[in-house]
Chains A and B, each alone.
Chain A
Amino acid sequence: MEINSENIRHLAELSDFALSEKEIESLGGDLKNIIKYISELDELDTDGVEPTYQVFEMENVWRPDEIVSQDATREDLLKLTQNEKDNQIKVPRVL
């Protein structure tokens, strides 16, 4: 996959990151290196090999449907936000 300033901008937009031209340039270099490094895996022939989704061979880890009281309160949640109003998280208008 080719990394260029256009798809870096697109990725940034998807995650709502504001990037300066300089950052886009340096990130482009970093991403190219990362992808080149990961691409070494492409040399392996994985045809017919089941994808590995997790390394522990667990399955059916379910919990009972019982309410357990939480240590974290609403105040703990709201403390993590920049702005709050009426016990809700206040964000710039979206949509």
Chain B
Amino acid sequence: MKYIPTIGIECHVQLKTKTKLFSEVDNDARGKEPNSCVSPVDYALPGMLPRLNGEAIKMAILAGRAMNCEINAYSRFDRKHYFYPDSPKGYQITQFYHPIIGAGYVELPSGTKVRIEHAHLEGDAGKLTHFDTYSLVDLNRVDTPLIEIVSMPDIHSARDAHDYCRELWRLMRFAGVTYGDLYNGNMRFDINTSLAPEGSDKLGTRTEVKNLNSFRSVERAVEYEIKRQTRLLDAGDKVVQQTLGWSDATGETSPQRSKEVAADYRYMPEPDLPPIHLSDEFIAAESAKLPLMPADYRTKFGEIIPHDTLEILLDYPELMTKLSELSADKKAIKLIANLFTSVLLAEEKSAEYLNDLPSGKDLAELAKMNAGGELSSTATKEVFLHLFDPQMRGRGAGQIAKELGLIQENDLGALEAIVDAVLAKPETAKAQADFRNGEEKVLGFLVGQVMKESKGKANPSAVQKILREKLK
């Protein structure tokens, strides 16, 4: 039988606030010792009181607006109880009843719209590392601010699941609310998959695959679940509603601990945190700080930058911002966009380079030299790369090109003299005669001789033009 898959996705995004959601300790534990970024508030010593980080609220507004969501004027926190070593409190502080972010939607590059049910603020849990007979607990991640984004079941293929996660990642990075480092778990995805026979208006039993941290594993896990559930249903068996884990190594899902039913979390209002009440003015003022989003850039640059190049660049908010600095010079935008994808992103050290981009002024100068014929395309690439060299940068594209001897000779008078000198050489006599007899291809040889004579600085197209004149 043919089945239609229906997929809903929950995504956890770690916010890049300086401090945690409820305590004043360092929220950036990257490269730091275990349990070195922890406050007694995080591990809930008796008498400790959480205090809400205002920046997390502002970031939640940006994140919500990036997904075209309503921002709720009223929201508050609840305790979700569970017993597990990753949470010394015995509960997670989350927004169960009144989330800060309401309904909205995300539009995928394919045009598919995925509705957002809501998104809420909550604290992350600690990190467990499992060994053969014991587990170790690192509380650095406890109460790192998260927003959990809950989609409607609007996704119907593994590919769209992949694209949705990737688009969320882009939106959150462009909104500037997360580092978006997937490898280190800054964004994690839970996927709910169910199958229904084609034409049926009822959804099938769903399974949840938890804690995926790459778009590729999201796609593979959905593909696997669709296949597995199809096999079960075709054999007349039932899909069991359960929580599954995913292994990248085996490419399979497998059951995890039995999921506690919702009532078991014993939600109750968090008494230590007064509610959030946002005025229309505050929401409007914070929303106005949202930078351009991928969709805005598609409108802005869609006519100038080839589609494939643009989609690659849209993974890098910093490159899009840089392109926007190049004013309205379409040729310059196209050239620099091309250099970004073909040269910068191909560099081994590109991640390092991205943190320290050349100024828009330098890039504009480079584009101008290229357009004016002063730099060949090869020379343009070379000067471009030198703009990332801390030793060279600061001198500007023009100076760098001069120092490297890359400026093309465009002075027609000077070029003509070189051409004349080459034509006077006896070894070019035969080629000249051949060309006059209609052998087009020897022109390349003659251009080569002139280039050699000019030590590579002549503009080849100008040389060709002069040669054609002279050999008429």
Contact with B along A46-69 (1 / 0, CB 8 A): 000001011010111111111110
Q: Are A61 and B85 CB-contacts (below 8 A) given A15-B90, A66-B18, A88-B34? A: no
- Looking at chain A's contact residues, the main secondary structure is loop
Q: Which chain B residues lie closer than 8 Å to A94 at the CB level?
A: 84-85, 128, 130, 135
A60-B276, A77-B35 known; A93 vs B52 contact (CB < 8 Å): no
Q: Which of A58, A59, A65, A72 makes the CB contact (< 8 A) with B17?
A: A65
The 8 closest A-B CB pairs, nearest first, are A62-B54, A65-B55, A88-B136, A68-B24, A58-B274, A89-B137, A53-B269, A59-B277
- Assess the A91–B134 pair: CB atoms within 8 A: yes
| 16 pairs of residues in contact across A and B, judged by CB atoms under 8 Å | A14-B82, A15-B83, A60-B274, A60-B277, A61-B52, A61-B273, A64-B55, A74-B33, A74-B38, A77-B43, A86-B34, A90-B134, A90-B137, A91-B134, A93-B132, A94-B85
Residues of A bordering B, CB below 8 Å = 14-16, 51, 53-54, 56, 58-68, 70, 72, 74, 76-78, 80, 85-95
* CB of B139 closer than 8 Å to a CB of A: yes
- State the CA gap A87–B137 with chains docked (Å): 9
Contacts of B132 in A (CB 8 A): 93
- Chain B residues with CB under 8 A of A70: 24-25, 38-40
B12 within 8 A of A: no
B135 touching A64 by the CB < 8 A rule? no
Cβ-defined contact, A93 with B25, below 8 A: no
Task: Tell me the smallest distance from the CB of B12 to a CB of chain A, in Å.
Answer: 19
Is B137's CB under 8 angstroms from A14's CB? no
Q: Contacts A89-B136, A93-B132, A95-B130 hold; do A63 and B51 have CB atoms under 8 A apart?
A: yes
Q: Write the chain B residue with the least CB distance to A64.
A: B54
Give chain B nearest CB distance to A73 CB in angstroms.
Answer: 9
Check B236 for interface membership: any CB of A closer than 8 A.
no
User: Are A93's CB and B131's CB within 8 A?
Assistant: yes
> For B264, what are the chain A residues with a Cβ–Cβ distance below 8 Å?
14
CB nearest neighbor in B for A57: B274
Q: Do B83 and A63 have beta carbons less than 8 Å apart?
A: no
B257 at interface, CB cutoff 8 A: yes
B contacts, CB < 8 Å to A:
17-19, 24-26, 33-36, 38-40, 43, 45, 51-57, 76, 81-85, 90, 128-139, 256-257, 260, 264, 266, 269, 271, 273-278
CB-nearest residue of chain B to A17: B83
Q: Are B83 and A14 in contact (CB-based, < 8 A)?
A: yes
B468 to chain A, nearest CB (A): 67
A90 to B25, CA, bound (A): 23
Beta-carbon contact of A95 and B52 below 8 Å? no
Find chain A residues with CB under 8 A from B137 CB.
Answer: 88-91
Q: Is the CB of B35 within 8 A of A88?
A: yes
Q: B24: which of A63, A76, A92 is its contact (CB, 8 Å)?
A: A63
If A91-B137, A94-B130, A94-B135 touch, does A14 touch B52 (CB 8 Å cutoff)?
A: no
Residues of A contacting B139 in the complex (Cβ-Cβ under 8 angstroms): 77, 89
A82 to B52 Cα, complex, angstroms: 31
Contact status A91-B135, CB under 8 Å = yes
Write the nearest CB–CB distance from A43 to chain B, whole angstroms: 22
Please judge, given known A-B contacts A63-B53, A65-B55, A67-B24, whether A53 and B39 are in contact too, CB under 8 Å. Answer: no
| With known contacts A16-B83, A91-B134, A95-B257, A62–B35 Cβ distance under 8 A | no
Interfacial chain A residues near B82, Cβ < 8 Å = 14
| Chain A residues within an 8 Å CB radius of B45 | 72
Question: Which residues on the A side are within 8 Å of B52 (C-beta)?
Answer: 61-63
Interface contact B54-A59, CB-CB below 8 Å: no
Note all chain A residues with C-beta closer than 8 A to B90. 15
Q: CA A26 – CA B39 in complex, angstroms?
A: 38
For residue A86, which residues in chain B have a CB less than 8 angstroms away from its CB? 34, 136
